[in-house]
Amino acid sequence: MTKTELTELLKSLEVPINEGVPSDDNVEAETRICFWEYLWEPLVASSKEYNTNVTYQVSIISDMPRCEALLELKHKLNELDIHPSIQIEYDIETRRWHSYFPVEVLENV
């Protein structure tokens, strides 16, 4: 999967999406997605770097666990033979659910 494919997949869920810092406009949305890169792993062959495996965290913040966007994203990733382990936590202060998982993509960094 490439970053463009990941971005298009997230957009297909039709919920607010931000890369990096969430937008003030989206903070109160019933469901929103924020994703960011946190690991670059060079892919090397014959002592030359030819691509980079970039790991992104995908976070879904929602008013309820197992929200529609989370389930739809899980099914779409499974269809692409990507099966992330999804972690879920409840934020007492905001009374919202945070589901998150890593996704690796290829990027020419």
| Phi, psi dihedral angles at 9 (to 5 degrees) | -60, -45
Q: What is the pTM of this model?
A: 0.90
**For residues 10 and 17, what is the distance between their CA atoms, to the nearest angstrom?**
7
42-73 confidence digits (pLDDT tens): 999 888 888 999 999 999 999 999 999 999 99
Strands (E), 10-91: 17-19, 31-45, 48-62, 87-91
Fold of 3-107: STM4215-like (3.30.2000)
**What is the DSSP code (8-state) at residue 29?**
S
Question: Are the CB atoms for 37 and 55 separated by under 8 Å?
Answer: yes
- Residue spans per domain, the chain: 3-107
| Rounded average pLDDT over 23-31 | 81
pLDDT score at 21: 83
State the chain's mean pLDDT as an integer: 94
pLDDT score at 49: 84
Nearest C-alpha neighbor of 70 from the set 96, 109, 41, 36: 96
